[in-house]
Amino acid sequence: MIFVIVVLSIVAGGTFLQIAGVYESMMQKQYSGELQTEAKVIAEQVSSRLSSSIKDSLVAMTKTDGIGCQSVSSLTGNVEYILAWVGRSDESNLGLWDTNDYKPGWSGFVDVSISDANSISTKGSKLSTAEIIINQLTNDTTTLSTTPKTAIYFSGSGTNTNACDDFFNTYAASKMYKVKIGATDTDLAQVDKQFANISEQYALSHSAYAIGRNGTDLFLYSFRPWLGETPDSDASPKLLGRNITGFAFKWEGGLFRINICVGRTLNGFPIEVCKERAVF
């Protein structure tokens, strides 16, 4: 009986170890699958937002107060930066449908023959509609009229070499102009500085954005550099994801790559999954 008990104990012990190993392997696969999904969702959120960016405006910052700003094309070393850019106001560009017809927002095209340094003609626009949409998006009022808070960028007028000065210099950004509705619903007038380098195409922006980590949480900040704001002006940044172990990005010519890593610890062993997305 003693012999039988010893044998059964050995068999039971081995079986337990096998079950424990199978269970741990199953948990690792489950955690890994969850992390794969989390990393994929976060990476897709970031790449989706970047798809509506003004590509020339992409910059990296070392702090949310704008310190350490540099163009993404000049990044070196292993420092984890905050990614910032100016976004096109695509929602107000699309306009609105009402019960009768379609109301466009801003057309994106300039009639250079009748435009000057103080006012541009943008035929095909209905800027009062664009203002309604921007007001709703920013939870603000008169963003294109009496107290304008919207900016314009003339396509092709910037380079990624000096993006910090072109877009984020709070005192003298050279490529962004605060604008308001002009003499008609198709005219945009400058507010505080004359237009320079007017081109046939433009984009309106109601916000710039920044993405960066605070501990293991990844946040999206909204701000308006043409109003003197920096990322930390956003008192309620949006949470994009938790358990973030790495956030990196790289500019390679016309291709912008982002990498998101998410991790957890299981029984003392770290599990990490990374996802990469490319934005053209």
For residue 95, give every residue at least 6 positions away whose Cβ sits within 8 Å of its Cβ, in sequence order, or none.
102, 103, 104, 105, 126, 129, 130, 133
Question: 101-116 burial string, b = 16+ CB within 10 Å, else e?
Answer: eeebbbbbbbeeeebe
Which pTM value belongs to this model?
A: 0.86
How many angstroms separate the CA atoms of 16 and 11, rounded? Answer: 9
* C-alpha 219 chain-centroid distance: 10
Tokens of 173: 């950004």
**Mean pLDDT of successive 10-residue segments in the chain (280 residues)?**
61 52 57 82 90 90 89 78 95 85 90 95 94 94 94 74 81 84 96 91 96 94 93 94 92 83 83 87
pLDDT value at position 252?
78
Please state the domain extents for the chain. Answer: 85-207
Q: Read off the pLDDT of residues 179-224 as tens digits, 9 standing for 90 and up.
A: 999 999 999 999 989 998 899 999 999 999 999 999 999 999 999 9
- Choose among 205, 162, 178, 173: nearest CA to 52: 205
Tokens of 183: 């003499």
Residue appearing with tokens 């992409």? 58
How many angstroms separate the CA atoms of 242 and 218, rounded? Answer: 6
pLDDT value at position 20?
47
How many angstroms separate the CA atoms of 38 and 35, rounded? Answer: 5
Q: Is 206 exposed, middle or buried (0-12, 13-18, 19+ CB in 10 A)?
A: buried
